[in-house]
Amino acid sequence: MRRVVVTGLGAVCPIGNDVKTVWENAVKGVSGVGPVTRFDATDFGCQIAAEVKDFDVSPYMPVKEARRFDRFIHFGIAAAFQAIRDSGLDSERENLRRIGCAVGSGIGGIPMITDNHKTLLDRGPRRVSPFLIPGCIINMVSGQLAIMTGFKGPNMAHVSACSTGLHSIGEANWMIRRGDADVMVAGGTDAPICPLSMAGFDSMHAMSRRNDDPTKASRPFDKNRDGFVFGEGAGVMVLEEYEHAKARGAKIYAELVGYGLTADAHHITTPNTEGPAYCMQMALEQAGINVDEVDYLNAHGTSTVLGDANETKAVKEVFGEHVKNLVISSSKSMIGHLFGGAGGIESVLTVLSLHNQVIAPTINLEEPDPACDLDYCANTAREKAIRYAMKNSFGFGGTNGSLIFKKI
């Protein structure tokens, strides 16, 4: 099997619109959560969200063209171009048939859909935008990226709820390993903050209602957590065959050595430990390493009562006695839950932790839940020697994904 390395990173999320800013704020423990500004949320039980702030799409695509696309496409394109530029790829020197795109989304263009539905009801079918369908379908991030770059290799968009971004990276990794491509631009993006989607989650009582103290609302593993915080953004990375990267003198952040994906086959929203545990074990087996070689785990860690306790239990099952030496953190404590973008941006942060040998904290962990009794790097960043880092993402429908990155 060919080796796969990470040579470029891109990020747009509630704590920054570029990788440098995102990483600096993550290490500082900055929260990106605040009152919803996108619409009037007065009638909602949850009135807070982790919104992307001061984002300008114009450096990545013409504003006139950007108006044809939903916001999740803007974020995905921006993060992808950041990652491509960071990688130093020179299109004029590359075989564009050997470069592909795999940027997925969990929800897609729901704001654009709901806006056009209102137009349909208020003004009739002739006033619906002719760009509605290409502007909101999930594969259009990868499709538009290929159009803009000329990348003619494998092109697809995975959809697996909150595991989307991680699965996109994992599957892109396999495309390189088996020889379908030499380079893949991979990750996830979502921008679902609109009245309809928020009402749907609000009616499930899945989101935090700590409206009076939004920066403290996302609190994974804390005894007083009361649900996740709605988020938006994108995380994308350039994956590359090792010899290809080496030949062009690319900087290498990390090597991707393990990937697992499983199903709970249990319930659409209530988790069990078998699926996540099997997923982590699969990634470890593919990496060919023992549990005691993993030093850091970036958890799914949504801040839900059931989810955090279940993930903790699954991690204990997999890591055994070594779990006492494992440092865990949840990026969602700062950026909220980006749904299809979560696995993308959190994989970027995992790679940065490995590259910099620093673990960004789980903020707002003030009173640990007795069911969550591991080392979650509470509230303060920590320098640590990291050989291997694992990233978990679990999604609605019982879909699971785990990646393992190696320091190189």
Residue 316 is encoded by which pair of tokens? 């204990």
Cα 212 from chain centroid?
Answer: 27
Measured over the CA atoms of residue 239, residue 242, residue 243 and residue 249, the dihedral's sign is: positive
Q: What is the pLDDT of residues 369-408, one digit of tens each?
A: 999 999 999 999 999 999 999 999 999 999 999 999 999 9
Query: Which of 158, 244, 300, 355 is flagged as catalytic?
Result: 300
Give the closest residue to 201 by CA, choosing from 313, 69, 336, 68. 336
Residue range 4-247, CATH number? 3.40.47.10
Q: Which residues pair with 382 in a beta bridge?
A: 359
Q: What is the pLDDT of residue 347?
A: 98
- The 10 Å CB-count burial string (b at 16+, else e) for 358-393 is bbbbbbbbeeebeebebbbbbeebbeeebebbbbbb
Residue with tokens 């982590």: 280
| DSSP secondary structure letters along 149-215 | H---S-EE----GGGHHHHHHHHHHHHHHTTS-SEEEEEEEE---SHHHHHHHHHTT-B---TT-GG
Query: Which of 74, 244, 337, 355 is flagged as catalytic?
Result: 337
Second-level CATH architecture of 260-406: 3-Layer(aba) Sandwich (3.40)
Which residues does the chain have with pLDDT short of 70?
A: none
User: What SS3 state is found at 50?
Assistant: strand
Q: Where are the domains of the chain?
A: 4-247, 260-406
CA angle 93, 102, 74 (to 5 degrees): 90
pTM of the model: 0.97
Is residue 322 annotated as part of the catalytic site, yes or no?
A: no
Is residue 162 annotated as part of the catalytic site, yes or no?
A: yes
Residue with tokens 């909150």: 162
- Backbone φ/ψ region at 77: left (φ over 0), alpha (ψ -120 to 50), beta: alpha
Query: Which of 46, 101, 136, 162 is flagged as catalytic?
Result: 162
Is residue 355 annotated as part of the catalytic site, yes or no?
A: no
Q: What is the pLDDT of residue 268?
A: 84
Residue 373 is encoded by which pair of tokens? 């009794």
CA angle 61, 63, 65 (to 5 degrees): 70
